[in-house]
Amino acid sequence: MTSQSTGSLSVEATQCPVSGTRGRAVKTVTLKALLTPGALAHLDAGAAFQFCADPACEVVYFSAQQTYATTDLKGPVFQKAPESVVPVCYCFGHTRAEVRHAAETGSGETLLETITGHIQAGRCGCEVNNPQGSCCLGNVRAVLRSASHLASPAP
Ligand SMILES: [Zn+2]
């Protein structure tokens, strides 16, 4: 193996160069939609990018040649921003506070059904709205689970 590359198309980084976290592949269109103009101006559009989900790591996207940090995105990244105003479901604007509230008031299932209905109707645009570039339902479920765990005592 050589670390040299001429043209980035076939080169793939699979681990975040800062945290070592195993990345998840994202499409370039996600970066095009969510990077700030200044960051986008340096995008290697032919490279294969991955998303780093580590909450403690400031890197959001990385390729074999480039990294983009949270400050290179136009908005907050769910995995890396603990604030209650940060979206869990980016497409339909459900914030962490709203999802927690749903869990606490027993309407978590209703919220999941609402979002699932939007997905089934083809309205979901996670590819260009959600920094992870993929469906938010897993994150919604995780927030619901942790919120209901906090709200109700163990059986
Ligand atoms: Zn990382």
The rounded Å distance from CA 47 to ligand 1 centre is 18
- Whole-angstrom Cα distance, residue 126 to residue 78? 13
| CA 144 to centroid of ligand 1, rounded, Å | 25
Q: Rounded to whole angstroms, how far apart are CA atoms 108 and 8?
A: 43
Average pLDDT over residues 30-46: 98
Tell me the CA–centroid distance for residue 16 and ligand 1, in Å: 5
- Look at residue 26 in the predicted model and tell me its pLDDT: 97
Class of domain 1-75: mainly beta
The tens digit of pLDDT for each residue in 57-110 reads 999 999 999 999 999 999 999 999 999 999 999 999 999 999 999 999 999 999
Which sequence spans correspond to the domains of the chain? 1-75, 78-151
CA of 133 to the centre of ligand 1 (A): 16
pLDDT at residue 4 above 80? no
From residue 135, alpha-carbon distances to 16, 18, 97, 115 in Å are: 21, 25, 19, 10
Contact residues for 114 (Cβ-Cβ < 8 A; gap 6+): 92
Task: Give the rounded distance of the alpha carbon of 130 from its chain centre.
Answer: 5
